[in-house]
């Protein structure tokens, strides 16, 4: 039985993702918007004259930033009065 070469790859982006380039090829670029809020699957099928394959999937996880570090205060005390000003900072994350 001869193997028929894949003619087209159909990419199925997760909710909140949009294919911006590469649909139909082996390589795809997906742009994620605010609708992508958790974990979802990216899918792809292979297609030729005989039909389509079952989809292959990859779990995509949102890259949630780590929590900021401890807030520190430069000089002074933590108690304030109207008219006071204080400088606060956190370490880079």
Measure Cα distances from 52 to 5, 18, 27, 55, 63 in Å.
12, 21, 18, 9, 32
CA torsion through residues 57, 50, 9, 1, sign: positive
Predicted structure pTM score: 0.68
Distance separating alpha carbons of residues 61 and 41, to the nearest angstrom: 9
At residue 3, the pLDDT reads 58
Distance separating alpha carbons of residues 34 and 39, to the nearest angstrom: 13
At residue 34, the pLDDT reads 84
At residue 51, the pLDDT reads 93
At residue 2, the pLDDT reads 53
> Average pLDDT of each block of 10 consecutive residues along the chain (93 residues)?
78 94 96 86 94 95 86 83 89 83
Is there a contact between 9 and 25 (Cβ–Cβ < 8 Å)?
yes
Written as six digits, the tokens of 19 are 């294919």
């Amino acid at each position: 039985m001869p193997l028929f070469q894949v003619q087209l790859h159909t990419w199925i982006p997760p909710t909140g993702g949009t294919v911006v380039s590469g649909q139909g090829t082996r390589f795809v670029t997906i742009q994620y918007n605010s609708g992508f809020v958790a974990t979802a699957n990216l899918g792809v099928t292979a297609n030729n004259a005989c039909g389509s394959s079952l989809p292959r999937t990859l779990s995509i996880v949102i890259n949630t930033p780590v929590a900021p570090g401890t807030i520190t205060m430069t000089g002074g005390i933590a108690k304030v009065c109207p008219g006071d000003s204080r400088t606060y900072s956190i370490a880079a994350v």
